[in-house]
Structure 1
Amino acid sequence: MKKLLAGAGNLIFIMVTLYLCYFIVSAAYNRTPAFFGYRVLRVITDSMEPVFASGDCIIIKGIGEDELAVGDIITFISGDPSLNGAYNTHRIYDIARDYMTGETIYFTKGDNNVWTDEYTVSEDDIVGKYIGKLPYGKTLSRFLDKLAEKDFYFVAIILPIVLCLASCVVQLIKEVGRAMRKRGKDEEA
């Protein structure tokens, strides 16, 4: 039974490590990591109020073009030069077909904006469809903001690592001491 539990623990550790590697590589290439097709994004503007507001964490799911309709909320790579290819999440206002290329083009608009977006969205730029808000997303968002601060980063990340390493060193010293005492008793006998 112990071997089975140890094997399961090792498997979980390996899976978490592989996912973290995937997460780091995705972040390095400016892609949002997906977990079974779902992604969590942080909202930074109020353009979609009242559906979601700045600071909320939203869940999107990758989907096919034929699954989109007017009224759906999508996340896409913005063609707006002022956004530098950043993700934008707005509602589909209209759908049209480009007569030259035959490609479907999406017109989008933030619910809290007066005008539709100046730049259209192509199929290739769509990242996913809005599924819902992450419970306690604003709390998570505030925590991430705090984590970005130097002092909090030290307290939340560096200090626990140092304490864990110190604990391991203390345990190692105790084990070495026990082994030496046992060896001394064995030599006396």
Structure 2
Amino acid sequence: MQNKYVNKVLKFLKWGAFILIILIAYTIISARITGADPSFMGYQFKNVLSGSMEPTFRTGSVIQIKLTEKEGTEYEPGDIITFQRDGILITHRIIEKIIHGDAVTYRTKGDNNDGPDIDAIPAGAVLGQYTGITIPWIGYPLGFASSKLGALILFLIPGVIFLVFGVHYLRGWRLSRG
């Protein structure tokens, strides 16, 4: 009786892992094809590459951002935003919202920086807002995974494992039939 229960749990876990891997592969492949960062239901995860926002989040962490839905004009001082400047993604805190007619810009500052950023950020450059979710140290392996070697290893190893389990399963299925 207990063996039957354990087998059902193991079967559920195998299928769950299989579905999870398929979803991750789909997300990564579709992101590579479109050239966009992987996102799920309006959220993205970003690697923290510098210590400018310490101690709020540390270098090597991964943070979650909610993608901007409007024109980026909805943010207020105190919000932490991710924006693009000169092709680089930066996540800093808004210290001032500047409104000139219909144009909105933000003055930002890293929590660990001595002074504010030099240039104000136009609302259109804002990609999203930090949600408060931080996963410490996971950014290091994710950074490796986004390299060509890391992607090869991370697709090759699970592929070989699925192939071995698939062959083993099919052999067992044929033996039980025969």
Q: Please report the TM-score for the alignment, with normalisation by the length of structure 1.
A: 0.65
Aligned to 1:161: 159
Distance 1:28 1:69 in 2: 34
Distance 2:104 2:159 in 1: 51
User: What's the % identity of the aligned pairs?
Assistant: 28
Aligned to 1:38: 43
Q: Is the 8 A contact 1:56 1:133 kept in 2?
A: no
Distance 1:151 1:92 in 2: 35
SS in 2 for 1:53: coil
Distance 1:174 1:128 in 2: 50
Asked whether 1:72 is paired with 2:79, we answer yes
Asked whether 1:110 is paired with 2:110, we answer yes
Aligned to 2:127: 127
Distance 2:58 2:148 in 1: 23
Structure with higher Rg: it is: 1
- How far did 1:40 drift? 1.5
Q: Please report the TM-score for the alignment, with normalisation by the length of structure 2.
A: 0.69
Letter in 1 for 2:46: L
> For this pair of structures, how many residues does the alignment match?
159
Aligned to 1:49: 54
| Structure 1 residue runs without a partner (length 5+) | 1-8, 183-189
Distance 1:48 1:96 in 2: 22
Distance 1:161 1:18 in 2: 14
More helix by share: 1
Q: Is the 8 A contact 1:44 1:55 kept in 2?
A: yes
